[in-house]
Structure 1
Amino acid sequence: MSSPKSNTALERLGHDLRSARLSRRIAVTDLAERAGTSAKTIQRLEKGDPKVAVGTLANVLVSLGLVEKLADLVDVRKDDLGLALSSERTPQRGRSFAASLRRRKPTDDKDEPDDVDPDGVAF
């Protein structure tokens, strides 16, 4: 079940797709053929039907020359909330692998050779 907000966004997307198609003077049947789908599916997409597959949307965008818009849909570089939350969780000071080895308690097994030198050199 779709939320009212997502329905509104999908209807706007459909309207914009229809406008893009009409400005390019492409018939529904021609766009459907180029996108590898049916004319009925194009009509549903233009009406904002939430049951149309994302892959179909991608194929339509390719056919219209707008596929880069899909790639920018969720651009993490522009996600202010995500960036803020990520920076809160990022440690201010990191610990090197060699330092973590030095902090590790020595084991009683002297028979096994060390795989890593405490200075970080692997053998």
Structure 2
Amino acid sequence: MPASKKRSYARYTLAAVELLGTLVQIERKSRRMTAQDLADRLGVDRSTLQRLERGDPKIELGLAFEACAILSIPLFGEDAQGLSMRLDEAGKRLALLPSRVRPKALGVSDDF
């Protein structure tokens, strides 16, 4: 994508990212943890953590999930064991699906 084009996000996406950032900020502050302390634990600059807490959708997904793991913020409404079970179930379902996905070829009728 050219640098001049700005990526647009759905309102749902922006709201979800903002909520996640707010939850991270609330939990960090409730634990009396400074932004620098959490940034150090995450291995990022404080400004990156601040972007996460502000709800910047361009923050790495892994970074956001790691912050939630450090702060014990449940994702998907489950604990680690429940998440592992859901991941196993999803893997089994995925194994049942075709390994290759491609659109059906459109037949061309040249019978005039």
> The TM-score by the shorter chain falls in which range?
0.5 to 0.7
Per the normalisation by structure 2, the TM-score is 0.58
Larger Rg: 1
**Cα offsets for 1:32-86 (capped at 9, x unmatched):** 00111111111000111000001111221222133xx23657x797xxxxxxxx9
- Which of structure 1's runs of 4+ aligned residues deviate more than 6 A? none
For 1:7 and 1:53, locate their aligned partners in 2 and report how far apart those are by CA, in whole Å.
Answer: 14
For 1:59 and 1:37, locate their aligned partners in 2 and report how far apart those are by CA, in whole Å.
Answer: 11
**1:27 counterpart = 2:34:** yes
Gaps of at least 5 residues in structure 1 are 78-85, 87-123
Per the normalisation by structure 1, the TM-score is 0.53
Gaps of at least 5 residues in structure 2 are 1-7, 87-92, 94-112
Kept in 2, the 8 Å contact 1:21–1:27? The answer is yes
Aligned residues: 75
- Aligned-residue sequence identity (percent) comes to 35
